[in-house]
Structure 1
Amino acid sequence: MAAVGSSGAVGVAGCAVLGSEDTDGEPGIVGETLTLTTTTSTYDTGLLDELNASFEDRYSVTVDAVAQGTGAALETARNGDCDVVMLHARSLEDEFLEAGYGVNRRDLMFNDFVIVGEPDDPAEIAGEDTVETALTEIAATESTFVSRGDYSGTHAKELELWDKAGLAVESFGDWYIDGGDGMGAILNQTNMQGGYTLADRGTFLNMHGQTDLEICVEGPVEGGPESLMNPYGVVAVNPAVHENVNYDLAMAYIGYVTSSDGQEIIESYTSDGEQLFFAEALAAEPNFQQHVPDGWESSSDE
């Protein structure tokens, strides 16, 4: 696992795999299939279709994308049933890396979370500056709150926010609903039942006009609290743990989505004129520590 943060691993994703050829002089990845597990938000927004179609066309390969909550996506990866994972829960990503199941993590993009609710706003949280106050008011008024309840990145963030507000979901009454579904379905459920939910901005904007829900508490993209930031990463499944995974194709994919071409697709992807995600892989001053779990030290730091 020490190689996860090495400079050699960084170079692989950028170019080495993409230039590989078979004995006939053809690109070595042509005709192969990549299995990608990803969060429902990248799938529901349509961004994944744009990224994958471009990658498939360029390298004559197929991407089999399986949309799951982050917890389920990581379990699929732990079992060796996919080649690469795209997700948005850094603490869970770190556990995955530390256990040796993943290698060569890259920052990919970000958007933010927002608390959305019915227009009547029964807890009167519209325009609230702090997440803790908003959640405290929802709980105090016992206003309906629909949770993802699916061990996704959004669900993990929601539980973290309740905890920071000093509230234990185990003590909540019937007003707290375990939705157990993807983001699009939860937004529809909240729209039908009333109340509030935590959503990623991308999926909410992509469903604009399909629900009556409104943003009550903004995330940092629109000047809200940093605690609602929603970063995404992409991780290859470790071939040293699962020999069956297509590591070369996984690294080709990571190299593409973090390249200038892939980042341009992310940056320019919109819904009704609204940008849904913001590219984060390219920077004037690269953050090489992005590849390793929080708290780890590189050999140069020892």
Structure 2
Amino acid sequence: MKKLISNFLLSLLAAISINGSQVFAQEKSIVVSSTTSTEQSGLFDFILPIFKMKTGINVKVVAVGTGQALDIGRRGDADVVFVHDKPAEEIFVQEGYSTKRNEVMYNDFVLIGPKSDPAKVGGGKDIQAAFQKIASAQAPFVSRGDKSGTHAAELRYWKSAGITVSPSQGWYKETGSGMGPALNTASAMNGYILADRGTWLSFKNRGDLTILVQGDPKLFNQYGVMLVNPAKFPSVKKAEGQAFIDWLVSKNGQDVIASYQIGGEQLFFPNAKK
């Protein structure tokens, strides 16, 4: 009898092991290289469980600056790239690293600064004029300095303001970090900083910082998503990656994105082209 029970238990354990291995082997997953704003705003924590529940596909996010996220795609180390620097994304497609860029959603950039506002930019809607005042006052300004979409936008605003900035200037500090850590630096320094609204709304360590400039059409912040070209990188999970993109731009995916709020305020506005 003991021998029969022992054999039964061994068979049961073997069956569990085999079935468990099959389930593990069948688990579908993709790697998405994305900007820190989609992660640090809490968007991915909100939408990815819903996507997995609908498709069974697990999404691993590598959150870095947009420039780095695109470089990860260029190495074939991601299946999907989800970022916010349209000119750089279009170059990514032109270079053949993807065959199509899909617009997903937008929000906007805001200029954050101390309530004391030494550069006197508060209440304005002209980002170019605000940057000119900050440079003229040599007020502390914190830049991400990480080749992210936010950093690229910031540099465009300095250029349009006719100002050349450099870390050699005492008032201009580059952190080389994501949006959250850069905001922490600005909070500690009581400095000005350009941020995406989504990360700002989810940021807790505000100190004396507040939104000072918003509403300029130039502050529009578009996000796009692209499948890394499987013809260039055969390891790309084409079906699963395309399923993620198709869901993001579908009515269901767009509705889920629109429903993400913090404190009753919507962080991202879906605008996928129908």
What is the TM-score with the length of structure 1 in the denominator?
0.80
Cα distance in 1 for residues equivalent to 2:41 and 2:125: 27
Deviation at 1:246, TM superposition (A): 0.5
Q: 2:118 aligns with which of 117, 122, 125?
A: 122
- Name the counterpart of 1:133: 129
Q: 1:154 aligns with which of 140, 150, 153?
A: 150
The AA in structure 2 aligned to 1:198 is L
- Name the counterpart of 2:62: 66
Q: 2:231 aligns with which of 232, 240, 259?
A: 240
Cα distance in 2 for residues equivalent to 1:179 and 1:273: 31
After TM superposition, the structure 1 stretch with the greater mean CA deviation from structure 2, 142-151 or 169-178, is 169-178
Cα distance in 1 for residues equivalent to 2:261 and 2:271: 16
- Name the counterpart of 2:139: 143
- Name the counterpart of 2:250: 259
Describe the SS at the equivalent of 2:102.
strand
Answer yes or no: is the 8 Å Cα contact 1:236–1:247 preserved in 2: yes
- Name the counterpart of 2:32: 36
Describe the SS at the equivalent of 2:163.
coil
Call closer, same or farther: CA 1:140–1:171 in 2, change over 3 Å.
Answer: farther
The AA in structure 1 aligned to 2:88 is L
The AA in structure 1 aligned to 2:255 is E
1:261-276 matches, cutoff 5 A: 261-276=252-267
Answer yes or no: is the 8 Å Cα contact 1:266–1:277 preserved in 2: yes
| Structure 1: 5+ residue stretches without partners | 1-28, 219-223, 287-302
Answer yes or no: is the 8 Å Cα contact 1:121–1:195 preserved in 2: no
When the two chains are superposed, the root-mean-square deviation of aligned CA atoms in Å is 1.5
Deviation at 1:156, TM superposition (A): 0.2
Deviation at 1:171, TM superposition (A): 8.3
Cα distance in 2 for residues equivalent to 1:127 and 1:87: 29
- Name the counterpart of 2:88: 92
Deviation at 1:277, TM superposition (A): 0.5
Describe the SS at the equivalent of 1:169.
coil
Q: 1:186 aligns with which of 182, 189, 207?
A: 182
Cα distance in 1 for residues equivalent to 2:100 and 2:209: 38
Deviation at 1:148, TM superposition (A): 0.6
Deviation at 1:44, TM superposition (A): 0.3
1:111 and 2:107 equivalent? yes
- Name the counterpart of 1:48: 44
Cα distance in 2 for residues equivalent to 1:122 and 1:255: 47
Cα distance in 1 for residues equivalent to 2:130 and 2:100: 37
Deviation at 1:213, TM superposition (A): 1.1
Describe the SS at the equivalent of 2:134.
helix
Alignment: residue pair count: 250
- Name the counterpart of 1:77: 73
The structure richer in helix per residue is: 2
Answer yes or no: is the 8 Å Cα contact 1:30–1:60 preserved in 2: no
Answer yes or no: is the 8 Å Cα contact 1:36–1:86 preserved in 2: yes
1:149-193 superposed Cα distances (whole Å, 9 cap, x missing partner)? 000000000000000000111486111000111111111110001
The AA in structure 1 aligned to 2:84 is H
The AA in structure 2 aligned to 1:155 is H
